[in-house]
Structure 1
Amino acid sequence: MALDLNGFPSREGPLKGVVVLDLTRVVAGPYCTMMLADLGATVIKIENPQDPDYVRTFPPMVGAEGEERSGFFAQYNRHKIGITLDLKASEGRELFLKMVGRADILVENFRPGTMQKLGLGFETLHAVNPRMVFTAISGFGQTGPHSSRPAFDNSAQAAGGLWSMNGSPGEPMRVGTIIGDLAASLYAAFGTLAALRQADASGRGQLVDISQQDSVFTLTENAVVNYTAAGKVAEPLGNDHPFVRPYGRYACLDGHVFFGAYTDKFWQEACRAFGNPEFALDPEIDSMEKRFDLAVYERRVRPIVDGWCASRTKQQLEELSADRFPMTPIKSIAEVVTDPHMLARGMIRSVAYGATHAQVFGSAVHLSDVQPEEEARAPLVGEHNDVVYAEWLALDRDHIERLRVDGVI
């Protein structure tokens, strides 16, 4: 469906013309809809006029005094149209249903049952627009005995099993990022596009049910099959690998590197690169099976790798390994942000937010026929109310002003 919003820049990309109603807040949801916007979709972020997305207050703040804006909000809301609407007001629901009739996708991340309480559940919206895809992101999903429980990212990491297997032996630790929120957003984008493709073919939309717990559970690598096949319960390994050595963190002159001899070929190449080809032929450590033996690793292999790294810097080790075998500096965020490779791939973007700009990560999706838009903006609260209500829904100015005075928008 083509959308022509006068006064708003036309979007380009494979999802050009796809209209997304975005009811999400914080990260699990806004990141999903931002990915759709990055690909050209017209995403209309709908916020309650009295209670907008509270991530707008999250640090770090950017901009001059009196004009501070949340860089965190800008990072997850670029390319979106921002409007306000109170879904609890009867007229607010009526306006929302008009939007539903013209939209292709709706994404929400309320606790299950909230949309039904508002009179805006899947069946209701499906009756208004049978072809619209309804994507719901929640902690535990729309079905099951725990579906109504509140959840945060940590809830998903705990309930999905990831927390129990991360960290050092005997000390489970959460993953150091909001992996439950991010994974749910990624699966939501993937599932939404699959449902949209089917809707385009059949004329019938469907409910896309995304659970943070489910999303985290699928990130546990071999933990599930190890348990179901062998009864082995995954535990924290620190920086070790369950069946490969050497494979982990090693100290160097100015920090640490990751080195992974995942195959005998990589081990042999590393031995040659560091001037020790004899180690590749040493009958005690010439195979992965032998090097993985903990006693052999600690007595023979680890001292070799420690010696290779201890006298060199991260840069020297990176240059030495180059394309030959995996030896990667463990980089700080400051180093990643200024990494020439990352800059060459456009992974640092400037997003305008009001009168200021925030430097944020770019899109990990690179399409050969699509170039990222030069200008990226995050919307102010209700910034595009007039554009959407006057131009798209064709409400007259007096009507819009009354809605504003009544607190509906």
Structure 2
Amino acid sequence: MLGPLDDIVVLDLSRALAGPHAAQMLGDLGAKVIKVEHPEGGDESRHWGPPFVGPDHDISTYFLAANRNKESITVDLKSAEGRRLVERLVRQSDVLVENFRTGVLDRLGFPVERLHELNPRLVILSITGFGHDGPEGGRPGYDQIAQGEAGLMSLTGPSPDEPYRVGASIADLLAGIHGAYGVAAALYERERTGRGRVVRTSLLAAVTGVHSYHGTAWTVGGTVPAAGGNHHATITPYGSFRCADGMLQIAAANEGQWRKVAALLGIDAEQPRYASNRERRAHRDELVEDMERALAAHERGHWLALLADAGVPAGAIRSLDEVYTWDQTRSQGLVVEVEHPVLGRIELPGPPLRFERPASGGPEKAASGGPEKAASGGPEQAERDEPRHTAPPLLGQDGAAVLAWLEERER
């Protein structure tokens, strides 16, 4: 791997999704990530499916989603030999990621104080379900439970009477994202202080942390937001609308955009009930009916072309196969190819970040991961050198290599 964290070693003791996602993000940034798994079965997500792939249909696509750019070593943390090996790895690591229930790591012999005795520079990322302390700090937490407890399900669905979970495991993924940026901040601080610290987040914190305007609607406005289907809670028109052959999305976030939409659809933008966002929100059901009546005259492609020409944000609702075959998705590095030891060449969802450096001698920029070069036959331009990625590992496949690396570091 090449990236801004290519001198960082991450010891990943986590499993399932939140912790592995955080460690994967650090691996995407170039860190060496050593994933510690139990010898009997490894990370439980290796057994989550369908779909399963491979000649024996025993490789979980769920596991493949959260463990690229890692090395796997098997360790029994309950054995004296396993604990000694983890101690050695802790001494040589910069970051430790764990998402055990509160107190489990302590019982295994690795409380925070012990970890910092072994390595005072260690940054520890701890992810829990509901926080490491407080009246319910010890509760186990999985994504859907957290989505409900943290209020997200009350905001999602066709109506307040039908709360829905978000389709993706968003509580886990947000906790991983928050955890990774907390680690980056702690590593930056360590450059000044010489000491590591503990970074804590939880599924509860991750979801509550993205309530945004829904949160202030209650904390400041005294209003309890509720599910409103596919329409924005405060901006109108902003949502999904039916046309002749299906649905499209339109987001008119200001008065200028609204007037353009109204002109295209033959609606009087200045009539009192539609003249301001406040009035449009109060008459949203009527406005949706008026818009869909006009949209029914043509197919989605017709309207998307007109809206694009008018500069109004609009779009289709794509299925995942359409997303991953879309030229724009691929142009952004959001699909990567890796060589898997069993599956061969496969494609994985790619990292959401790109890093660029100024090209020498000009304002153009090059993607991180390699030197800048001049393109032949014209002014000097940046030449992109994409980062390399490795496939999620088989259970324990890197044991010998990790031990050899560890012995070399210790020497």
Cα distance between partner residues in 2 of 1:282 and 1:230: 28
Q: Which moved more, 1:204-213 or 1:238-247?
A: 238-247
Moved more, 333-342 or 188-197: 333-342
1: distance between equivalents of 2:265 and 2:249? 19
CA distance in 2, matches of 1:39, 1:128: 26
Alignment of 1:302-317 (within 5 A): 302-317=288-303
1:36 and 2:26 matched: yes
SS in 1 for 2:391: strand
**How many residues align structurally?**
379
- Distance of aligned partners of 1:230 and 1:282 in 2 relative to their CA distance in 1, 3 Å threshold: closer
Contact preservation (8 Å) 2:241, 2:250: yes
Alignment of 1:374-393 (within 5 A): 374-393=388-407
User: In 1, are the aligned partners of 2:3 and 2:387 still within 8 Å (CA)?
Assistant: no
What amino acid maps onto 2:331 in structure 1?
A
Query: Cα distance, 1:279 vs. partner?
Result: 2.4
How much has 1:336 moved relative to structure 2?
1.2
Is the Cα–Cα contact under 8 Å of residues 98 and 393 in structure 1 kept in the other structure?
no
Distance of aligned partners of 1:254 and 1:340 in 2 relative to their CA distance in 1, 3 Å threshold: farther
Deviation at 1:150, TM superposition (A): 1.0
For residue 162 of structure 1, what is the aligned residue in structure 2? 152
Q: For residues 5-404 of structure 1, what are the structure 2 equivalents within 5 Å?
A: 11-59=1-49, 60-63=51-54, 65-66=55-56, 68-169=58-159, 170-272=161-263, 274=264, 276=266, 279-282=268-271, 284-294=273-283, 297-299=284-286, 301-322=287-308, 324-356=311-343, 357-369=345-357, 370-371=368-369, 372-393=386-407
Which residue pairs with 1:401 in the alignment? none
For residue 311 of structure 1, what is the amino acid of its counterpart?
Answer: A
Relative to structure 1, is the Cα distance of residues 317 and 62 closer, same or farther in structure 2, using a 3 angstrom cutoff?
farther
> Matched residue of 1:289: which SS?
helix
**1:348-397: per-residue Cα shift (whole Å, max 9, x none)?**
223333221443211111112415434531111111111111332259xx
1:167 CA displacement? 1.4
TM-score after normalising by structure 2: 0.87
Q: Is the 8 A contact 1:164 1:236 kept in 2?
A: yes
Task: Return closer, same or farther for 1:80/1:210 CA change in 2, 3 Å cut-off.
Answer: same
> Any conservation in 1 of the 2:146–2:204 contact (CA below 8 Å)?
yes
- The whole-number CA distance in structure 2 between the counterparts of 1:214 and 1:70 is 28
Q: Which SS does the other structure have where 1:77 is aligned?
A: coil
DSSP-derived class of the 1:351 partner: strand
Q: Distance in 2 between matches of 1:234 and 1:199?
A: 41
Percent same amino acid at aligned positions? 35
Cα deviations by residue, 1:80-101 (Å, 9 ceiling, x for unpaired): 1111111111121111111111
Paired residue type of 1:34:
Q
Q: Give the secondary structure class of the aligned counterpart of 2:315.
A: strand
Structure-2 separation of matches of 1:358 and 1:73: 14
Per-residue Cα deviation, 1:58-79 (whole angstroms, up to 9, x for no partner)? 232223x337522221221111
Most deviating of 76-85 and 231-240: 231-240
CA contact (8 A) 1:69 1:354 kept: no
- Rate the CA distance shift 1:18–1:139 in 2: closer, same or farther, 3 A: same
Distance in 2, Cα, partners of 1:314 & 1:363: 31
CA distance in 1, matches of 2:93, 2:194: 13
- Partner of 1:145: helix, strand, or coil? coil
User: Matches of 1:144 and 1:284 in 2, distance apart?
Assistant: 48
Contact 2:70–2:390, Cα closer than 8 Å, also in 1: no
1:136/1:375 Cα in 2 relative to 1: closer, same or farther (>3 Å)?
Answer: closer
Task: Please report how far the alpha carbon of residue 271 of structure 1 lies from its aligned counterpart in structure 2 after TM superposition.
Answer: 3.1
Q: Measured at CA, do residues 298 and 387 of structure 1 come closer, stay the same or move farther in structure 2, by a change above 3 Å?
A: closer
CA–CA separation in structure 1 for the residues paired with 2:2 and 2:324: 27
Distance 2:178 2:91 in 1: 25
Uncovered stretches (5+) of structure 1, i.e. residues with no partner:
1-10, 396-409
Counterpart of 1:204, as a letter, is R
The alignment partner of 1:257 has SS state of strand
Tell me how far apart the structure 1 counterparts of residues 105 and 262 of structure 2 sit (CA, whole Å): 61
> CA 1:365–1:173 in 2, change beyond 3 Å: closer, same or farther?
same
2:312 alignment partner, SS class: coil
Is the contact between residue 68 and residue 389 of structure 2 (CA under 8 Å) also seen in structure 1? no
CA distance in 2, matches of 1:360, 1:253: 35
Asked whether the equivalents of residues 34 and 70 of structure 2 are also in contact (C-alpha less than 8 Å), the reply is yes
* RMSD of aligned alpha carbons: 2.0
User: Is the 2:265–2:294 contact (alpha carbons within 8 Å) kept by the matching residues of 1?
Assistant: no
Higher relative contact order (CA 8 A, sep 6+): 1
Q: Which amino acid aligns with 1:365?
A: L
